[in-house]
A = this chain, B = another copy of it.
Amino acid sequence: MTSRSPAATTKGRRHPLGLGQVSITGGFWAPRQARNGAAAIPSGQDQLEKAGNLHNLRLTAGIGEGEAIGPVFADSDVYKWLEAAAWEYGRNPDDDLLRRIRELTAVVAAAQREDGYLDSVVQLRYGDEGRYQQLVWSHEHYCAGHLIQAAVATVRCTGERELLDVAIKLADHLYATFGDGKTVDIDGHPVIEMALVELYRETGTETYLELAKWFVDARGHGIIERHGHAPAYFSDRVPVREATTVEGHSVRAVYLAAGAADVALETDDTALLDALKVQFDHMWSTKTYITGGLGARWEGEAFGDEYELPADRAYAETCAAIGGIQWAWRMLLATGEAKYGDAIERMLYNGFLAGVSLSGTEYFYVNPLQLRGAAHADNGRSPAHGRRGWFDCACCPPNIMRTLASLDTYLATSTDDAIQLHQYADGVIKSGDVELTVETAYPWDGTVHITASAPTAVELRIPGWADGATVNGHRVDAGGYARAEGTEIELVLPLTPRVVGADPRIDAVRGCVALERGPLVYAVEQEDNAANVDDLHLLPGAPIAEASELLDGVTVLRAQGRAGTGHRPGWSFVPEAGDSVGEEVEVVAVPYYAWANREIGAMRVWLPRV
């Protein structure tokens, strides 16, 4: 039986543990999951109703009259919501939620055509003749992929097969339509690859894996270009096996890579996996923000060049962080390497979590690392810098919902002889006959106490930043897994605030430092600072104090800095080394994920060093 988790592979070096096997019970994440289940998911359904997504599916099902509303990928938001609801039901079975899932499933099933085709917007707008005619932009496979993912989550968490039957019929239709000797074409937006592999895992039907592999291998051979589009945006410039980096639209790129990792896992394709390792490393070392944010460019929502990582115009779409987590998770399952756990931690606590408000129901699509004061004051200029309840292009909110609802499954894995803990949260982990109870106030406190129901081997990820970590009082190396055995294990991760710099090749933050504490990247907001945040400089060597009076108990950092006074409009002077900066000031920083939950004003992650 597959585990009640995404990417429920039985291959790979690490075995995922599903919902029920891993349960977050308290601490940092439990209230976030509670708000996700109680507020975000119900309000998400309302938003889908209001935005017309459900209207489209009902029309296609023959209910009501009218025209399709919204973007061509509107169905996908419904399916992501369904997937979120399914995981949520897996965490916390609730009759009302099951009723909603069933109702929506019935609409989706009724909207499906006799031959298995399903895409409400294309069907309504272009009819049968319009099918797959503009696959570069139509998102038909993309919507199918999200439908399949929702169906897999539903059967895993509710045991009900209605949506799976729809998914199978659709996947069979896709298999009958696409491939060598059939239609040779690919969707402009990957996700179908991951989905088909999951359907294979769920059903054992090999044709789904075969088609997933075909979609992966079809990329980079000129299909998009033959349709008259520049291929880089669509991750179609270079074959996946030959690529050495990520490029183009960031969500497309990481979804494709995650799907390719799924194919590599299930087909034992080490050459493909090796290519993906190179790509991930290159992304992580040259095209990733300190927040784990991915995608530097607004133009094309794209990865930039190497080291092109502007703080102010960071795009860093919330969905890209989610796709990054999905990719890293599959690499972790395949390789067992801790660096992928490190990457997930950085993305999860920063680039991903900033995408949702503390209330759980307001979202960021774009996640900059700097907002200048004047930019926000002028409402006409910064439309992206207020959190919103929904978006015209609403990919991010239900993506956040499904991630939070399935977050438990990213905490731990098992091997034949051990349980691995990758992320630390209050909770219970069952593997075989052993039950681990994890108690921690992480990330506020670095102590993680683990009680095992029976003596067992536990492998604990020691983050790369955690110099001085101890397990049961013994020093362990940072970056890797520390193995411990017994029934009582105490891990201590040192949460001393850190002043960090960037690779000097990242031109955009030259001469700057950032504050980190544990897995959290910090940001300086105008709300907490008397001096103008745009002008703040940080004294790297000065002591940093911790406090937790702001923002409902988060740990706030108080560092020392100076207010800048070196304003010199124009370029007509020879600058002196050590240009003076002004008076000493306190610099107050809050976790980056918590920014923009109060009065929005100037914000910076990177501060010039004095």
Residues of A participating in the B interface, judged by any CB pair closer than 8 Å? 230-232, 237-238, 247, 285-286, 290, 297-299, 304-308, 310-313, 370, 372, 374-375, 378, 380-383, 464-465, 498-505, 507-514, 516, 534-535, 540, 564, 566-575, 577, 579, 608-609
- Known A-B contacts A500-B574, A505-B535, A608-B510; the reply to A230 vs B372 at CB < 8 A is no
Given contacts A230-B383, A298-B299, A308-B375, 12 further A-B contacts (CB under 8 A): A231-B380, A286-B569, A305-B312, A305-B372, A305-B381, A306-B375, A307-B534, A370-B507, A502-B571, A503-B570, A540-B574, A577-B609
Q: Are A382 and B305 interface neighbours, CB within 8 A?
A: yes
Q: Please, which residues of chain B bring their CB within 8 A of the CB of A307? A: 372, 534
Query: In this complex, which of A307, A499, A564, A571 has the most chain B Cβ atoms within 10 angstroms of its Cβ?
Result: A571
Known: A305-B372, A510-B511, A566-B504. A499 touches B230 (CB 8 A): no
B513 touches A238 (CB 8 A): no
Which residue of the partner chain, among B378, B382, B501, B575, contacts A575 with CB atoms under 8 Å?
Answer: B501
Can you report 24 residue pairs joining A to B where beta carbons are below 8 Å apart? A247-B378, A247-B381, A290-B571, A298-B299, A305-B375, A305-B378, A306-B372, A308-B312, A308-B375, A310-B313, A310-B508, A499-B574, A500-B575, A501-B568, A501-B571, A504-B566, A504-B567, A504-B579, A505-B534, A505-B567, A507-B508, A508-B508, A510-B511, A514-B571
Given contacts A514-B571, A568-B503, A575-B500, contact A313 B304 (CB under 8 A): yes
Residue numbers in B under 8 Å from A608 (CB-CB): 504, 510
| Chain B residues in 8 Å Cβ range of A513 | 575
Q: Are B500 and A572 in contact (CB under 8 A)?
A: yes
Contacts of A232 in B (CB 8 A): 380-381
A63 CA to B311 CA in the complex, in Å?
Answer: 54
CA distance A568 to B501 in the complex (A): 9
Alpha-carbon gap, A370 to B305, bound state (A): 11
Q: How far is the CB of A177 from chain B (nearest CB, A)?
A: 29
> What residue in chain B is nearest A372 (Cβ atoms)?
B305
Report how far A382 CA is from B237 CA in the complex, Å: 13
Bound state CA distance, A438 and B93, in angstroms? Answer: 88
Return chain B residues, CB-CB under 8 Å to A380: 231-232, 237-238, 247
Instruction: Please name the residue on chain B nearest to A501 by beta carbon.
Output: B575
> Inside 8 A of A308's CB, which chain B residues have their CB?
312-313, 372, 375
Q: How far is the CA of A229 from the CA of B43 in the complex (A)?
A: 28
Least CB distance, A518 to chain B, in whole angstroms: 12
Known: A383-B230, A574-B540. A312 touches B507 (CB 8 A): yes
Specify which chain B residues have a CB less than 8 angstroms from the CB of A230 in the assembled complex: 383
Q: Which of A375, A575, A608 has the most CB of B within 10 A?
A: A575
Docked Cα-Cα span, A608 to B247, in Å, equals 27
Question: Do A464 and B304 touch across chains, with their CB atoms under 8 A apart?
Answer: no
Residue of B nearest to A302 (CB): B381
CA gap between A370 and B310 in the complex, in Å: 13
Closest to A575 in B: B501
Q: How far is the CA of A574 from the CA of B230 in the complex (A)?
A: 42
CA distance A572 to B247 in the complex (A): 25
CA A47 – CA B285 in complex, angstroms?
Answer: 44
Q: How far is the CA of A499 from the CA of B572 in the complex (A)?
A: 9
CB neighbours (8 Å) of A566 from chain B are 504
CB <8 Å contact, A573 and B500: yes
CA distance A569 to B375 in the complex (A): 31
Instruction: State in angstroms the CA–CA spacing of A514 and B308 once bound together.
Output: 20
Give the residues in chain B near A579, CB-CB below 8 Å.
504
Q: With A and B bound together, what is the CA distance between A95 and B412 in angstroms?
A: 82
Contact present for A500 and B571 (CB under 8 Å): yes
Give, as a whole number of angstroms, the nearest-CB distance from A333 to chain B.
Answer: 23
Chain B nearest CB from A528 CB (Å) reads 20
Contacts of A382 in B (CB 8 A): 305
Top 10 A-B residue pairs of the complex, sorted by shortest distance between their CB atoms: A501-B575, A305-B375, A511-B511, A298-B299, A285-B569, A232-B380, A237-B380, A500-B571, A504-B566, A510-B511
Given known A312-B305, A372-B305, contact A540–B575 (CB-CB < 8 A): yes
Residue of B whose beta carbon sits closest to that of A305: B375
B499 touches A305 (CB 8 A): no
Q: Assess whether B310 is in contact with A504, with CB atoms less than 8 Å apart.
A: no
Residues on B with C-beta less than 8 A from A464 are 570, 572
Whether B507 pairs with A311 at a CB distance below 8 angstroms is: yes
Contacts of A568 in B (CB 8 A): 501, 503-504
A286 to B380, CA, bound (A): 17
Bound together, the chains give a CA A382 to CA B567 distance in angstroms of: 34
User: What separation, in Å, do the CA atoms of A23 and B106 have in the docked complex?
Assistant: 80
Bound-state CA distance A63–B422 (Å) is: 73
Residues of B within 8 A of A609 (CB): 575, 577
Of B290, B299, B311, B577, the residue contacting A540 (CB under 8 A) is: B577
Q: How far is the CA of A411 from the CA of B496 in the complex (A)?
A: 63
Which residue of chain B is the closest to A574 with respect to CB atoms? Answer: B499
B574 near A498: Cβ-Cβ < 8 Å: yes
Interface-central residue, A310, A311, A516, by most chain B CB under 10 Å? A310
Interface centre among A290, A310, A381 (most CB of B within 10 A): A381
